[in-house]
Amino acid sequence: MHFDSDDSLTYRLEDQIGFKLRLANQKHLEVFARMMPDVTPTQFAVLAKLLEEDTISQNQLGRLVGMDAATTKGVVDRLRTKGFVRRIKSTSDMRRLEISLTTEGRAFAEQAVQTAAEISAATAQNLTRRELERLLELLDKL
């Protein structure tokens, strides 16, 4: 925010949190696309979560990575086309779809999480360790 000489608030786009977050996100997406061109950030999030969870329902997977059901289905479908995930009907509830990594998907995801750490470091390269920790804490508060 910017205050002019008489202490009244002046709206400046460049001072707004949404604007700054969008610019930071654009920088991160550029780094991500350059360093991990085979998947989108959303596809990577699904692969990374499956690496942690092994097998999980499609709905739960979507909730864990912050996507709605339709988006989750589309992402899973694209990852299936790449051969990275499999989708099977649950044996306990035929309405539920279980998602897991294929052997190829697991190998890709294991390498991708290492690359993702490098992407995070590249995105935050101008921050000190303390600044980065504080930024992450503040983003959690949002």
Q: What is the pTM of this model?
A: 0.85
57 φ, ψ to 5°?
-65, 150
Alpha-carbon distances, residue 95 vs 38, 71, 139 (angstroms): 31, 18, 36
CATH architecture of the domain covering 39-141: Orthogonal Bundle (1.10)
Q: Output the pLDDT for position 54.
A: 86
15-31 residue pLDDT tens: 999 999 999 999 999 99
Cβ atoms of 135 and 127 closer than 8 Å: yes
95-111 residue pLDDT tens: 789 999 999 999 999 99
Beta-bridge partners for 85:
101
Cβ atoms of 138 and 83 closer than 8 Å: no
Strands (E), the chain: 2-3, 9-10, 55-57, 85-89, 97-101
Q: Output the pLDDT for position 65.
A: 96
Q: Where are the domains of the chain?
A: 39-141
Query: What are the tokens at 105?
Result: 């998907």
Does position 5 have pLDDT exceeding 70, yes or no?
no
Q: Output the pLDDT for position 94.
A: 72
43-99 residue pLDDT tens: 999 999 999 998 999 999 999 999 999 999 999 999 999 999 999 987 787 778 999
Per-residue confidence band for 6, with pLDDT thresholds at 50, 70 and 90 = low
